[in-house]
Amino acid sequence: MAILITGGAGFIGSHAAVELLNNGYDIVVIDSLSNSQMESVHRIQELTGKEFPFYEVDLVNKVQADEIFHYHPIEAVMHFAGLKAVGESREIPLKYYNNNITGTLNLCEVMAKHNVKNLVFSSSATVYGNPNSVPVVESFPLTVTNPYGRTKLMIEEILRDLHVSDSSWRIAILRYFNPIGAHESGRIGESPNGIPNNLMPYITQVAIGQREHLQVFGSDYGTHDGTGIRDYIHVVDLVKGHLKALQYLERNEGVEAFNLGTGKGYSVLDLVHNFSEVTSREIPYQVVPRRVGDIGICYANPEKAKNLLGWQAEKGLKEMCQDSWRWQTSNPNGYNIAVKQ
Binding region for ligand WQD (CB under 6 A): 84, 86, 124, 126, 178, 197-199, 202, 214-217, 228, 230, 268, 291, 294
∠ CA 290-293-294, rounded to 5°: 55
Q: Which of 89, 118, 124, 223 binds ligand NAD (CB under 6 A)?
A: 124
Distance CA 321, CA 181 (A): 6
**36/223 with CB nearer ligand NAD:** 36
Residue 296 binding: pick among ligand NAD, ligand WQD, none (C-beta 5-8 Å cut-off by kind) = none
∠ CA 102-13-190, rounded to 5°: 110
**Binding of ligand NAD by 34 (CB under 6 A):** yes
**Binding of ligand NAD by 35 (CB under 6 A):** yes
Binding mask 281-320 for ligand NAD (x = CB under 6 A): ----------------------------------------
∠ CA 241-246-250, rounded to 5°: 140
Binding region for ligand NAD (CB under 6 A) out of 29-37, 43-51, 67-75, 269-277? 29-37
Task: Specify the DSSP element, H or E, that contains 30.
Answer: strand 26-31
Under DSSP, the state recorded for 235 is: H
We find the least distance from the C-beta atom of residue 36 to ligand NAD, in angstroms, to be 3
Cβ-count burial 239-255 (b if 16+ within 10 Å, e if not) = bbbbbbbbebbeeeeeb
Binding mask 159-178 for ligand NAD (x = CB under 6 A): -----------------x--
**Binding of ligand NAD by 69 (CB under 6 A):** no
**Binding of ligand NAD by 13 (CB under 6 A):** yes
Residue 39 binding: pick among ligand WQD, ligand NAD, none (C-beta 5-8 Å cut-off by kind) = none
* Best CA proximity match to 124, nearest among 144, 104, 141, 105: 144
Distance CA 326, CA 333 (A): 13
Binding mask 45-64 for ligand NAD (x = CB under 6 A): -------------xxx----
Distance CA 140, CA 308 (A): 18
Distance CA 333, CA 319 (A): 21
We find the least distance from the C-beta atom of residue 265 to ligand NAD, in angstroms, to be 16
Binding region for ligand NAD (CB under 6 A) out of 30-38, 70-78, 108-116, 333-341? 30-38
Task: Indicate the residue whose CB is closest to ligand WQD.
Answer: 228
DSSP string, 41-78: HHHHHHHHT----EEE--TT-HHHHHHHHHHS-EEEEE
Binding residues (CB under 6 A) for ligand NAD: these are: 6-7, 9-13, 31-36, 58-60, 80-84, 99, 103, 122, 124, 176, 179
Catalytic residue numbers? 148
